[in-house]
Amino acid sequence: MVALTAGYSMNGYVATLGIDVEDWYHAENVQPACPRATWEQCESRVEASVGRLLEILDETDTKATFFVLGCLAEKYPGTLVERIAHAGHELGSHGYSHHLLSRLSDAEFQEDAYRSKAVVEDITGRPVLGYRAPSFSIHLRALEILSELGYIYDSSLNRVWASSRYGRICASKMKKTGRIYRVGDLYEVPMSRLKLFGVVPVPLSGGGYFRLFPWPVWRLGVRRILSQQGFYNFYLHPWEIDPGFPKVRNISLLNRFRHHVNLDKTEGRFRALLETIKFRPVSQALPEGPRLLKKFGRGGGTGLKVER
């Protein structure tokens, strides 16, 4: 595996890390058993799991982007948002209510994306630059709305066919810019994949795939991505390092497998990944990433208050 230094190595590789901050009951796979109306009654474990992630990142000298659900930021401003910011990480938006974008009208999505951005900015006084859609359910109109709302980049495009929830962006609308893309005025930082035989896209960006694939296979795949593409974008949910969250049973066998497989192995694998590759916040994949880091500070924010 290629060793990277501060996200940018002498040989030009870039590796970025995004944490999708949601609780175990927000995941789409468990919604039949944990519908939105029951969320307030579900045991919340997100503060503890984010705290554990922050410890791991500190121990491995790693900085990341935390894409935070607005409803969680509003509920836990100090123990979640401020704690992440004080640790020097970039804060992004994961939407406000964890709705799939395909189920929202343009007006509903605009309100959701604006509200989540505003909540985090009001807590930290720092601008939110990036967005990640729940379940990667991005689409072209959503990107246009994000740009209108002042976002700089999106990191939701997952170009594999592993889930019908994943959004699609027509390739003709995307302009290659370095290792990433530009769609209108917005940058798109896609999730990583490996094409077997140059044709079959294999998801190697994180999440359930990271828990499912054997670690040696994953490590080999990441090595191949870095050697071929020079860029790797990884993601994880806090609940994936928490095997103690309540077991969800009133869902399909497939969804139960997806949600629970190898939870007891995730933390160890994640730490091994961080000890192999040096990651940085997702904004550092942008062509002006180093300038953004200098302008907005170590964690992606400024010391200036955002006026509303």
pLDDT class of 9 with cuts at 50, 70, 90 = very low
pLDDT in the model for residue 200: 76
d(CA 74, CA 226): 37
pLDDT in the model for residue 4: 36
pLDDT in the model for residue 300: 40
Residue 115 lies in a domain: yes
Residue 284 lies in a domain: yes
Number of structural domains (the chain) is: 1
Residue 302 lies in a domain: no
Specify the CATH number for the domain of residue 91. 3.20.20.370
The more confidently predicted of residues 208 and 293 is 208
pLDDT in the model for residue 304: 32
Residue 182 lies in a domain: yes
Q: What is the pTM of this model?
A: 0.90
Residue 163 lies in a domain: yes
pLDDT class of 1 with cuts at 50, 70, 90 = very low
pLDDT in the model for residue 11: 57
Per-residue pLDDT tens over the stretch 147-190: 999 999 999 998 766 667 776 787 778 899 888 999 999 999 99
Residue 308 lies in a domain: no
Residue of 263, 270, 269 lying closest to 57 (CA atoms): 270
Domain that holds residue 86: 14-295
> To the nearest whole number, what is the mean pLDDT of the chain?
89
233-239 mean pLDDT: 98
**Angular region, 2: left φ>0, alpha ψ -120 to 50, beta rest:** beta
Residue 221 lies in a domain: yes
pLDDT in the model for residue 170: 78
Per-residue pLDDT tens over the stretch 55-114: 999 999 999 999 999 999 999 999 999 999 999 999 999 999 999 999 999 999 999 999
pLDDT in the model for residue 302: 32
The more confidently predicted of residues 295 and 204 is 204
Following DSSP, what letter does each residue of the chain receive, concatenated? ----STTB-TT--EEEEEEEE--GGGSGGGTTTS-GGGGGGSPP-HHHHHHHHHHHHHHTT---EEEE-HHHHHH-IIIIIIHHHHTT-EEEE--SS---GGGS-HHHHHHHHHHHHHHHHHHHSS---EE--GGG---HHHHHHHHHTT--EE-----SSS-TTS----GGG-EEETTEEEETTEEE-PPPEEEETTTEEEE-SBTHHHHHS-HHHHHHHHHHHHHHHSEEEEEE-GGGG-TTSPPP-SS-HHHHHHHHTTHHHHHHHHHHHHHHS--B-GGGGSTTHHHHHHHH-TTS--SSPPP-
Residue 160 lies in a domain: yes
